[in-house]
């Protein structure tokens, strides 16, 4: 079978014989892959002109719903991907991380749409006043870059590696060209075929290269974004491409790193934390046969517990069934290929020149229902380095397989220093039930890690573990780990967008951002805004209410109703040394009184109060003062219709500006209401 590339909106078979890809368990040929004949420059131009235009014209809400639909579609077809994934040497659990973990990224980013407006672009942060009179201001918007996201992925996660990146760039409004590692690209191709067949993505949103990417980086430009996952040496080579430097192309690099796990001194043998530590180490050594960029390579243990830990890890690995992952009972499959086995053995040889082998055998181990000669099998190997400050190779050499090294520490400062010696890691874990130890480790080790897991008996049940990056948190790390940051919730989406400072009048910026900017012109209408449907409301539409005078009785009654008898509201004799000159009205009374002024009591399109944001009480309100309200439509966010609802709706954000008889603001807040739509939204 010859793998196909998806380029320029069609499936294209690469020319020439191509590279033969093998089943990692049996050594039989699976497919051949070739990208010869593809025009990478043409693919990039197609992505920019077709895919980018289609995606950038969609709103965040539309893109998010697209991701959700795609996630549901792929989840219904997941079993076929497991069958293909077995050929990479991955067990069911290994493949679950890759396949359902990847689809989970689509779901997570689909939900992230709720943090963005129903617009193709995003207004970031707070407005900035730039003049005394309030007629000149600034803000920041982010718009999708006009290029293509080029993803160069590693062999160990052919599905997750693609979907965790694409979910973010699609939500941001950019198309992608995915270049999976050729070795396992047959899994990626199977998923991409279904993605294309689904018709869920707009044309040009995704292209696939099975085979060498050769000169693709020679054709990227400053509007494109490149991400790379793989070895540090390959990443450095790609990042140094003259065109990348010349065009100042954003290059996000996530490299394999020498991640560490630390056993706290409180976690002595016999404690739940000790057992959790052993379980976590075993998992990190065997899941994906240790072929994870996040896998634990350095096991940092209190010197007094070294023997106990060594024995416990050995016991946990004894009896581990290694073999063809399609065979029942097999708990550890094969490495991705025989070339990977050779590379791991070469690195292991270097490590063993200064470390002691304390568990495992490179050659003598049993394989269950698999070809030990033709397959790519390797048993877990545990090393011991008793002098990690002198024998520093442990912190510099990585065997990308089921190989980890134990080392001792005498106090927490030493443990922190050993963790730092990795010169930058994707993640680190500390297993401790002592929060003081946890705090000291995190604060002092965070400079060298992209993520730190604190594991103990209370978090263990729901913890996703050392090696599992989460889509709404940053995945990446400094130094050797590449200095990049992928995913990370809203931060990850912004990576594919251009931030631009905009300046002008509040009215102009209100129109640009589709968010009312304080000081902008009001749009007044005789019809009360609460009588209007979602579609009818305009950004900047304002109701200026009648006024009411606050009395002593109001303050007393509100105190009795709310049970808030704070002295500033109820005891005029206790005000010395405070900002108040007399009893002051409750801030929440002022807000409640404001609602009484602006709410229209009759039943209408407004269904309910959805929440309150950014509430500030800026000036004391005393008895005898008169307040009024300027209620302005600040922002509108459409919502999708739920199956059990017979109406469609949106969230309207209102700026509530409460002012006194001098015209000065005494309270300001944003309230959210759920408002019905009149029409049917597709």
Q: Where are the domains of the chain?
A: 4-255+491-498, 259-469, 522-676
Number of neighbouring beta carbons within 10 Å of residue 659: 21
Here the tokens at position 248 are 């100042």
Chain center to CA of 235: 21
Contact status, residue 180 vs residue 27, Cβ threshold 8 Å: no
Is the pLDDT confidence value at 486 over 90? Answer: no
Contact status, residue 59 vs residue 118, Cβ threshold 8 Å: yes
Least confident of 135-139, 146-150, 420-424, 637-641: 637-641
Predicted pLDDT at 646: 77
Chain center to CA of 664: 43
Q: How much is the average pLDDT of 8-20?
A: 94
452 three-state secondary structure = strand
Predicted pLDDT at 577: 94
Task: Please identify which residue in the block is written with the tokens 């540090």.
Answer: 232
Beta-strand (E) ranges in 444-583? 452-455, 474-477, 484-487, 497-504, 542-544, 548-549
Helix (H) or strand (E) segment spanning residue 458: none
213 three-state secondary structure = coil
Q: How much is the average pLDDT of 37-52?
A: 97
Here the tokens at position 104 are 């989970």
Chain center to CA of 210: 26
Q: How far is it, in rounded angstroms, from Cα 555 to Cα 568?
A: 11
| Burial tier of 476 (Cβ tally within 10 Å: 0-12, 13-18, 19+) | buried
Q: How far is it, in rounded angstroms, from Cα 41 to Cα 43?
A: 5
Residue 629's alpha-carbon distances to 19, 587, 599, 619, in angstroms, are 71, 14, 11, 14
Query: Of 2.30.30.240, 3.40.605.10, 3.40.190.10, 3.40.50.300, which CATH number belongs to 4-255+491-498?
Result: 3.40.605.10
Q: How far is it, in rounded angstroms, from Cα 145 to Cα 142?
A: 9
Is the pLDDT confidence value at 645 over 80? Answer: no
**End-to-end alpha-carbon separation of the chain, Å?**
41
Alpha helices by DSSP H, listed for 337-477, are: 338-352, 412-420, 435-445
Closest CA to 277 of 289, 259, 262, 260: 262
Q: Identify the DSSP state of 584.
A: -
Q: How far is it, in rounded angstroms, from Cα 377 to Cα 336?
A: 9
Least confident of 71-75, 451-455, 574-578: 574-578
Catalytic residue flag (residue 500): no
CATH of domain 259-469: 3.40.309.10
Phi, psi of 400 (to 5 degrees): -80, 70
Is 0.85 topped by the overall pTM?
yes
Contact status, residue 399 vs residue 348, Cβ threshold 8 Å: yes
Q: Which of 164, 189, 254, 280 is catalytic?
A: 254
Is the pLDDT confidence value at 19 over 60? Answer: yes
Helix (H) or strand (E) segment spanning residue 177: strand 176-179
Q: Which of 166, 210, 289, 293 is catalytic?
A: 293
pLDDT single digits (tens) 314-339: 999 999 999 999 999 999 999 999 99
Catalytic residue flag (residue 462): no
pLDDT single digits (tens) 255-293: 999 999 999 999 999 999 999 999 999 999 999 999 999
Number of neighbouring beta carbons within 10 Å of residue 381: 25
According to CATH, the topology of domain 522-676 is Thiol Ester Dehydrase; Chain A (3.10.129)
Contact status, residue 147 vs residue 175, Cβ threshold 8 Å: no
Is the pLDDT confidence value at 654 over 50? Answer: yes
Q: Do 522-676 and 259-469 have the same topology in CATH? A: no
Quickly state the pLDDT bin for 501 (edges 50, 70, 90): very high
Q: What is the overall mean pLDDT for the chain?
A: 96
Quickly state the pLDDT bin for 680 (edges 50, 70, 90): low
Least confident of 342-351, 450-459, 611-620, 632-641: 632-641
Q: How much is the average pLDDT of 32-44?
A: 97
Is the pLDDT confidence value at 682 over 70? Answer: no
For 382-414, b/e burial (b = at least 16 CB within 10 A) is bbbbeebeebeebbebbbbbbbbbbbbbeebeb
The DSSP code sequence of 15-29 is SSS-EEEE-TTT--E
- For 168, residues 6+ apart whose C-beta sits below 8 A from its C-beta are 109, 486, 487, 492, 493, 495, 496
Pairing of strands 296-302, 29-33: unpaired
Q: What percent of the chain shows pLDDT beyond 70?
A: 100
């Amino acid at each position: 079978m010859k793998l196909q590339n998806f380029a320029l909106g069609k499936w294209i078979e690469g020319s020439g014989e191509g590279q033969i890809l093998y089943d990692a368990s049996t050594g039989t040929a699976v497919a051949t892959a070739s990208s010869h004949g593809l025009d990478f420059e043409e693919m990039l131009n197609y992505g920019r002109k077709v895919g980018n235009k289609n995606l950038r014209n969609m709103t965040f809400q539309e893109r998010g719903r697209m991701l959700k639909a795609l996630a549901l579609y792929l989840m219904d077809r997941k079993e076929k991907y497991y069958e293909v994934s077995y050929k990479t040497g991955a067990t069911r659990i290994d493949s679950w991380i890759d396949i359902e973990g990847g689809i989970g990224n689509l779901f997570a980013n689909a939900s992230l749409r709720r943090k963005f407006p129903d617009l193709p672009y995003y207004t970031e942060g707070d407005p900035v006043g730039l003049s005394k009179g309030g007629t000149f201001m600034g803000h920041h918007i982010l718009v999708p870059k006009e290029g293509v996201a080029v993803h160069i992925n590693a062999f160990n996660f052919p599905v997750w590696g693609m979907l965790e990146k694409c979910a973010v760039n699609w939500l941001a409004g950019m198309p992608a060209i995915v270049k999976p590692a050729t070795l396992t690209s047959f899994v990626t191709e199977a998923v991409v075929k279904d993605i294309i067949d689904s018709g869920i993505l707009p044309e040009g949103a995704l292209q696939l290269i099975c085979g060498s990417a050769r000169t693709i980086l020679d054709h990227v430009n400053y509007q494109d974004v490149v991400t790379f996952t793989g070895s540090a040496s390959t990443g450095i080579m790609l990042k140094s491409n003259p065109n990348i430097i010349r065009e100042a192309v954003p290059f996000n690099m996530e490299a394999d790193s020498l991640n560490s796990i630390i056993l706290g001194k409180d976690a002595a043998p016999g404690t739940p934390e000790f057992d959790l530590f052993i379980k976590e180490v075993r998992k990190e050594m065997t899941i994906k046969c240790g072929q994870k960029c996040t896998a634990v390579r350095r096991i940092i243990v209190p010197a007094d517990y070294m023997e106990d830990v060594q024995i416990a890890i050995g016991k946990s690995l004894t009896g581990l069934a290694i073999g063809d992952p399609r065979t029942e009972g097999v708990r550890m499959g094969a490495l991705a290929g025989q070339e990977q086995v050779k590379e791991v053995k070469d690195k292991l040889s270097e490590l063993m020149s200064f470390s002691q082998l304390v568990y495992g055998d490179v050659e003598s181990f049993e394989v269950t229902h698999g070809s030990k000669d033709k397959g790519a099998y390797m048993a877990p190997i545990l090393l011991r380095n008793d002098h990690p400050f002198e024998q520093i190779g442990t912190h510099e050499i990585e065997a990308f397989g089921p190989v980890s090294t134990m080392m001792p520490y005498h106090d927490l400062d030493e443990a922190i220093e050993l963790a730092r010696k990795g010169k930058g890691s994707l993640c680190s874990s500390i297993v401790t039930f002592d929060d003081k130890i946890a705090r000291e480790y995190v604060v002092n080790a965070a400079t060298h890690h992209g993520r730190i897991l604190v594991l103990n008996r209370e978090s263990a049940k729901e913890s996703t573990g050392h090696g599992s990056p989460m889509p709404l948190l940053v995945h990446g790390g400094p130094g050797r780990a590449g200095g990049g940051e992928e995913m990370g919730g809203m931060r990850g989406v912004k990576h594919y967008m251009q931030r631009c400072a905009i300046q002008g009048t509040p009215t102009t910026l209100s129109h640009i951002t589709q968010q009312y900017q304080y000081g902008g012109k009001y749009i007044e209408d005789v019809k009360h805004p609460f009588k209007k449907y979602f579609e009818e409301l305009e950004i900047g539409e304002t109701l200026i209410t009648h006024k009411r005078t606050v009395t002593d009785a109001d303050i007393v009654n509100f105190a009795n109703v709310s049970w808030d008898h704070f002295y500033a509201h109820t005891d005029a004799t206790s005000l010395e040394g405070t900002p108040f000159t007399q009893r002051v009205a409750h801030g929440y009374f002022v807000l409640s009184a404001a609602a009484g002024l602006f709410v229209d009591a009759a039943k209408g399109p407004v269904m309910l109060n959805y929440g309150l944001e950014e509430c500030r009480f800026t000036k004391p309100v005393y008895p005898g003062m008169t307040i009024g309200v300027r209620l302005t439509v600040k922002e509108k966010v459409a919502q999708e219709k739920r199956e059990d609802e017979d109406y469609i709706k949106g969230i309207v954000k209102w700026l509530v500006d409460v002012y006194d008889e001098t015209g000065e603001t005494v309270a300001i807040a944003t309230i959210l209401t759920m408002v019905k739509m009149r029409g049917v939204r597709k």
